[in-house]
Amino acid sequence: MTTEEKIFNAARIVFQNKGFAGARMQEIADEAGINKAMLYYCFKSKELLFKAILRNAFGQLAPQINEIFNSQDTVFDKITKFTQRYISFVILNPYLPQFLIQEMNNNPEFVMSFMIKEKRPNPVLLIAQIEKEIADGIIKPINPKQLLLDIFSMTVFPFAAQVMMKGMIQISDAEFNEMMEVRKTSIAEQIINSIKN
């Protein structure tokens, strides 16, 4: 593993746990097992290091979502694939959703300008497709945006709020992962069942 990679991985951990404002360059250096000066040698500044992490985070998520959203599948198939793949991916990066949501909240302009450069998921086509399938009588007459909100809520929230949920409902890490495995298929079934004609 190169020094740059060691720094990058360490930075991802610290930024995802503490956020940009709460992260300390010293902590990233310690986590990477190298000297603080190397951070600046490799990445120039805290902000640039953060941007690298952010770009990587979007870069991993957005294309997968776009691919599913913009495919030739039916809406039901898209829902099934999205929940399945998103959860599979996020189980491996459990703090990514909360990280993105948090930075989006704390610094909307900054992250927004970012999302625009990287190709962000654009659900316009999907919304049109949902409306068409409603017109065709495949899907019940619902608000497409509410449907998208339901899908994201059921899929993303358990990860975004996992620390709080683990504390509240008293779920162990192992139990949490088991529950997410189940959700890979159960969410789509439940949502499709509630909207199919």
CA 26, 29, 30, 35 torsion-angle sign: negative
Q: Is 5 in the site for DNA (CB under 7 A)?
A: no
Q: Which of 25, 127, 154, 192 binds DNA (CB under 7 A)?
A: 25
- 125 binds, options DNA, its own copies, none, Cβ within 5 to 8 A by partner type: none
- Secondary structure letter of residue 108 according to DSSP: H
In the complex, the smallest distance separating the C-beta of residue 147 from DNA, rounded to whole angstroms, is 41
Looking up tokens 């890490």 gives: 173
- N-terminal to C-terminal alpha carbon distance within the chain: 53
- Secondary structure letter of residue 139 according to DSSP: B
In the complex, the smallest distance separating the C-beta of residue 45 from DNA, rounded to whole angstroms, is 4
In angstroms, rounded to a whole number, what is the distance separating the alpha carbons of residues 169 and 189? Answer: 23
In angstroms, rounded to a whole number, what is the distance separating the alpha carbons of residues 2 and 149? Answer: 41
Residues in 41-100 at the binding interface with its own copies, rule: CB under 8 A: 95, 98, 100
Structure tokens at 3: 């020094």
x/- track of binding to its own copies for residues 102-141 (CB under 8 A): x-xxx-x---x--x----xx-xx--x--------------
In angstroms, rounded to a whole number, what is the distance separating the alpha carbons of residues 79 and 194? Answer: 13
Interface residues with its own copies (CB under 8 A) are 17-22, 95, 98, 100-102, 104-106, 108, 112, 115, 120-121, 123-124, 127, 143, 145-146, 148-150, 152-154, 156-158, 160-161, 163-165, 167-171, 175, 179, 182-183, 186, 190, 193-194
